[in-house]
Amino acid sequence: MTAPAIVATDISRTYELDGVSVPALRGVSLTIEPTDYVAIVGTSGSGKSTLMHLLGGLDRPSGGTLLIGGRDVAGLGPAEMAKLRNETIGFVFQSFHLLARTTARDNVALPLVYRGVGRRERRARAAEMLERVGLAHRLDHRPNQMSGGEQQRVAIARALVTEPAVLLADEPTGNLDSATGQSVLALLESLNDDGVAVVLVTHDRDVAARARRRIVMKDGAIVPLAGEDA
Amino acid sequence: MRLAEAWRVAIDALRANRLRSVLTMLGVVIGVAAVVALVGIGTGTKGQIEQQVEGLGSNLLLVVPGRLEAGSAPAASTMDLDDVEAVARVVGDRDRVAATIASGETVRAGSRSAFASMQGVLENTPDVFVRKLDRGTYLSRTDVTTGRRVAVLGAGTATTLFGDRDPIGRQITIGGVRFRVIGTFERLGQSLGVDRDSEVHVPVTAAQRLLGTDRIDGLAIRAPDRERIGQLSTAVVKVLTDRHPDTDFSAVTQEQILGVLGDILGVLTGVLAAIAGISLLVGGVGVSNIMLVSVRERTKEIGLRKAVGARPRDIGVQFLLEAVLLTTIGGVLGMALGVTAALLVDRFSPVPAAVTWWSLALAFGVSAVVGIIFGVVPAQRAGRLDPVVALRTE
Ligand SMILES: Nc1ncnc2c1ncn2[C@@H]1O[C@H](COP(=O)(O)OP(=O)(O)O)[C@@H](O)[C@H]1O
Ligand SMILES: [Mg+2]
């Protein structure tokens, strides 16, 4: 097996809110392997999103060391972090975060813009990716012309178009009905089978149970589970 | 590629908020239109006056008593026709030296009357100052030496007194004294608000008798060539000062007059441009405001773009382009409006206006710069947004 995609060692994150320190994450250590499928569960406010933001290089830890794609984020500036995210990470959000006035194809192509890929190739790769998530017939639809499940598939295609090492999905089914949610999760599982590491925040116990690894968070820390390799 | 995307997004954002974009542009449109129109009026006026001064003919040297300085009152003349002879000897050619005594007089023909500038002159005036006759003949040498009461009318005065009738050979009175019209001038138009066609030329001797004086107001010399103007100027002032030790004399060339007028009008144009510039500035502040609103509205979009790999610079450039697009589109519209306004002023008012390429280029450049200056702060704010915070915004 190749080098781990993400290595977090004793990372913490403390928010400063009106002079009050809010410790959202306290000493989390976690390694994401290139073929991992990790489910993160935990109560609301336990620090799941904070952890996802750190793993994805959207934020930097207040303490500990974090290696993304082998690079220590402590030494990186905002522009380098942006490049790192673009090359290594794909994000999927609970509320899709698609650009409203933009077609599915152009939404998916967006990360390639910031990679400097030409328009023709961007459009070709976006179409290919939409086909892979089963939306070949929705290329020129805008978000408001698509169902929630379709929108989330577009978001997943967008996360995949840069061929990232890790796909981070923070409650991707939170805004979907259960049947649609199931199909989105099935898609994520099939992507994982194709070799993309997936880290998933979910409330669904069945989904969590199907994951290769399960991580439970509480009060900003990982709860050690008997009988599981956390 | 990233820049192309930034353009596309900026245009898209402006389209998405059409009304707001148009209203924001309005400030810039008005500012640029004001710059173009007012600078056009300034340069138009300047151009017209320069043309008229140049129309006096080249290599012209004007000699008047007194010091020609800003703020000094014109001195009473002590020159007479003997001085003209003396200057003519210095110049070496009598035909190159013109003399004038001027006075505002009421001119009558039958029941009609007109107020005109009576100019007592020598017969060589049309050659020294380039003036063309419309009808009849000009004053002759004999008219001047004998003080014959004959007159040549400016086009305006001729029309006022005689309408469409031919004035040649008719009688007029100037200050109550009878003169016979022997010629009329071609129409000249206005200069600095002065109607140059309300003139009557009479022999200097006749004018002196009418005014009860033997003085003349000033001299004009057409130098044979440009190189000798300076030398001639010194020699003429010297001979006059020798003859009138108590009086200062000034000799000014056309270039000097043009220079002074140019300075004055340059300042005037500058002031107009500054006033217009202030409205452009106000337009810029409006752009800045709207850009800040735009950044706030699109916080989530900024967060998403950053999450998928946009650097702070990419976001900043996108918003800066949006601001520059706002002001340059406003600038182009303002240029169209300003040019139209200038052309209308030129066509339908006595004020001349000339649109110059440099004022258009300047207005466009300034509007782009305004976009950059007033777009930088919102763009930086957008670029520095924390992606996590931006994505959380709902
Ligand atoms: N930007 C922030 N500023 C201050 N506190 C924050 C911020 N983001 C999250 N928190 C706090 O950190 C804790 C963890 O939040 P989060 O990671 O969103 O939890 P989860 O995703 O598990 O619900 C919560 O107490 C939350 O209020
Ligand atoms: Mg959360």
ipTM given for this complex? 0.95
A40 contacts A66 by C-beta, under 8 angstroms: no
- Decide if B60 is inside a domain: no
Put simply, the answer to whether B307 touches A83 (Cβ < 8 Å) is no
pLDDT in tens, A164-202: 999 999 999 989 998 999 999 999 999 999 999 999 998
Give residue B296's domain range.
Answer: 3-52+260-392
For an interface test with B, the pick among A49, A58, A73 (most B C-beta atoms closer than 10 Å) comes out as A58
pLDDT confidence bin for A142, thresholds 50/70/90: very high
- Decide if B309 is inside a domain: yes
A41 contacts A216 by C-beta, under 8 angstroms: yes
Pick from A173-182, A212-221, B48-57: least confident: B48-57
Measured from the CA of B392, which atom of ligand 1 is nearest? 1
**Chain B residues with CB-CB distance to A164 below 8 A:** none
Q: Hey, what are B279's tokens? A: 């409205």
Put simply, the answer to whether B1 touches A83 (Cβ < 8 Å) is no
- A15 touching chain B per CB within 8 A: no
Which segments of chain A does DSSP mark as H helices, in order? 48-55, 78-88, 104-113, 119-132, 148-160, 178-193, 205-210
| A60 pLDDT above the threshold of 90 | yes
Task: Please list the residues that pair with B98 across neighbouring strands.
Answer: B220
Minimal C-alpha gap between B367 and chain A (Å): 29
pLDDT confidence bin for B4, thresholds 50/70/90: confident
- Decide if B64 is inside a domain: no
| A226 pLDDT above the threshold of 60 | no
Between the CA of residue A163 and those of A112, A136, A157, A198, B2, what are the distances in Å?
10, 19, 10, 13, 19
Q: Does the pTM of the predicted model rise above 0.95? A: no
Q: Are residues B298 and B372 located together in one domain of the fold?
A: yes
pLDDT confidence bin for A230, thresholds 50/70/90: very low
Is the Cβ atom of A50 under 6 angstroms away from ligand 1? yes
Q: Are residues B106 and B152 located together in one domain of the fold?
A: yes
Interval A4-27 mean pLDDT: 94
**Chain B residues with CB-CB distance to A116 below 8 A:** 1-2
- Decide if B365 is inside a domain: yes
Measured from the CA of A44, which atom of ligand 1 is nearest? 23
What's phi and psi for A229, nearest 5 deg? Answer: -90, 85
- Sign for the pseudo-dihedral over CA of B36, B39, B44, B45: positive
Residue at which a domain ends, from B176, B193, B222: B222
Quote the CA–CA distance of B355 and B368 in Å, as a whole number.
20
Q: Are residues B88 and B46 located together in one domain of the fold?
A: no
Q: Are residues B388 and B296 located together in one domain of the fold?
A: yes
Residue at which a domain ends, from B222, B249, B278: B222
**Chain A residues with CB-CB distance to B2 below 8 A:** 113-114, 116
Give the closest of A79, A95, A111 to B308, CB-based.
A111
Q: Are residues B185 and B277 located together in one domain of the fold?
A: no
> Which residues are CB-contacts of A80 (< 8 A; sequence separation ≥ 6)?
none
Between the CA of residue B80 and those of B61, B218, B239, B244, what are the distances in Å?
18, 9, 13, 11
Say how many domains are in chain B. Answer: 2
Is the Cβ atom of A17 under 6 angstroms away from ligand 1? yes
Pick from B272-276, B315-319, B336-340, B389-393: least confident: B272-276
Interval A113-123 mean pLDDT: 94
Put simply, the answer to whether B305 touches A114 (Cβ < 8 Å) is yes
Put simply, the answer to whether A119 touches B311 (Cβ < 8 Å) is no
Residue burial B125-149, b: 16+ Cβ < 10 Å; e: rest: bbebbebeeebbebbeeebbeebbb
Beta strand segments in B53-149, E = 60-65, 97-109, 112-121, 133-136
What's phi and psi for A118, nearest 5 deg? Answer: -65, 155
> Candidates 3.40.50.300, 3.40.50.2020, 3.40.50.620, 3.90.1640.10; correct CATH number of A6-223?
3.40.50.300
Q: Are residues B299 and B332 located together in one domain of the fold?
A: yes
What's phi and psi for B324, nearest 5 deg? Answer: -65, -40
Q: Are residues B182 and B287 located together in one domain of the fold?
A: no
The closest of A221, A216, A202, A220 to A15, measured between CA atoms, is A220
- Decide if B245 is inside a domain: no
